[in-house]
Homo-oligomer: A and B are copies of this chain.
Amino acid sequence: MRIGFIGLGNMGAPMARNLLKAGHQLVVFDVVDAAVADAVAAGASGCDSCRAVAVADIDLLMTMLPASPQVEEVYLGRDGVLASVGRGVLLIDSSTIDPFTARKVAAEAARQGNPMLDAPVSGGTAGAQAATLTFMVGGELSAFDAAKPVLARMGRNVVHCGASGNGQVAKIANNLLLGISMIGTAEAMSLGVALGMDPKVLAGVINSSSGRCWSSDTYNPYPGVVENAPSSRGYTGGFASALMLKDLGLACDAARQAGQPVVLGALAQQLYQLFTSQGRGRLDFSAIIESYRRTSSHNG
């Protein structure tokens, strides 16, 4: 299949490479020239604009962009994809953005005869490289069926979440809960240790009880409890706190637009804001537990 691919950052670049490995022809663009050059070296055809990708006789177009404004510009801008792409070409946006923008762009695409899916991912850069991502997909079932074989070359789970925008909804709802669970785990572990428990024993109790969660049993923020977790290697790698802050912001913003309360979610967003504004946004999001550690010179 001949596939257009726009957005070759930390996530997009390895995803594109996996499509090449699967035997697809790729036509690519990124605002960073070196990213295009790398993809060309791996076998892709390079372009110098979104428009050039859109008109390159492609069957399907994927995008992987930082945030809503870029998605709006790439699809709806004067020289954007919708202004030039052939009718019927399937469009897939894997950026993590707010569901309202996703729905607006998809509606515009549908109006001119282009089926469009929102398909944000989880799994991080490691998952992108290993082709083990999860795709949460919103849009028409027929479009989903057409896209699935392609997405399956880049990920292990490809889940249809319902109508347009629902891929984004599933992602922000999951990450809302993830952010809350992680802070909750950090508080439970910190409290237990402050009151005299061994962290591994405490994690063992929680993991076989009703407090069990992914943040505790797979990704425990307390150093030394889970061997391969970022907490056991100085909170490097993993999912940056600044990205968790972004996703919690998307969740709170979507909640506001929907008139839906998310009380713990809003506080979790603020705690990541406090943490990030202390210069620690690059640390893995489980490092939030450091907010709960006392300094040696505490008084009170």
Residues of A whose CB lies within 8 Å of any CB of B are 99, 122, 134, 136, 157, 159, 161-163, 165-166, 169-170, 172-178, 180-181, 183-185, 187-192, 194-198, 201-202, 204-206, 208-216, 218-219, 241-242, 245, 249, 251-256, 258-271, 273-274, 276-279, 281-282, 291-292, 294-300
In the assembly, what is the distance between CA of A134 and CA of B208, in Å?
A: 10
Interchain residue pairs with CB less than 8 A apart (15): A157-B208, A165-B196, A169-B197, A169-B202, A170-B206, A177-B187, A180-B184, A181-B181, A195-B260, A249-B256, A255-B273, A263-B274, A266-B267, A277-B298, A279-B296
Question: Given A213-B212, A261-B277: A173 and B161 within 8 A (CB)?
Answer: no
The list of the 6 closest CB pairs from A to B, nearest first, reads A213-B213, A281-B300, A180-B184, A276-B300, A177-B211, A173-B192
Distance (whole angstroms) from the CB of A260 to the closest CB of chain B: 4
Greatest chain B CB density within 10 A among A157, A208, A265 is at: A265
Q: How many copies does the complex hold?
A: 4
In the assembly, what is the distance between CA of A141 and CA of B22, in Å?
A: 58
Q: Which of B249, B262, B271, B295 contacts A187 (CB 8 A)?
A: B262
Question: Given A266-B270, A278-B295, A294-B259: A214 and B210 within 8 A (CB)?
Answer: yes
On whether the beta carbons of B214 and A214 are closer than 8 Å, the reply is no
In the assembly, what is the distance between CA of A104 and CA of B249, in Å?
A: 22
| Chain B residue with Cβ nearest A248 | B256
Q: Which of B183, B202, B212 contacts A264 (CB 8 A)?
A: B183
On whether the beta carbons of A197 and B173 are closer than 8 Å, the reply is yes
| Chain B residue with Cβ nearest A195 | B169
On whether the beta carbons of B300 and A259 are closer than 8 Å, the reply is yes
On whether the beta carbons of B178 and A264 are closer than 8 Å, the reply is no
In the assembly, what is the distance between CA of A265 and CA of B159, in Å?
A: 33
Contacts of A295 in B (CB 8 A): 277-279
On whether the beta carbons of A184 and B181 are closer than 8 Å, the reply is yes
On whether the beta carbons of A270 and B261 are closer than 8 Å, the reply is yes
Distance (whole angstroms) from the CB of A224 to the closest CB of chain B: 16
In the assembly, what is the distance between CA of A110 and CA of B270, in Å?
A: 36
On whether the beta carbons of B187 and A169 are closer than 8 Å, the reply is no
On whether the beta carbons of B184 and A170 are closer than 8 Å, the reply is no
On whether the beta carbons of A173 and B189 are closer than 8 Å, the reply is yes
Distance (whole angstroms) from the CB of A32 to the closest CB of chain B: 19
Q: Which of B134, B172, B270 contacts A262 (CB 8 A)?
A: B270
In the assembly, what is the distance between CA of A236 and CA of B222, in Å?
A: 35
Contacts of A297 in B (CB 8 A): 279
On whether the beta carbons of A251 and B177 are closer than 8 Å, the reply is no
Q: Which of B122, B177, B253 contacts A188 (CB 8 A)?
A: B177
| Chain B residue with Cβ nearest A189 | B173
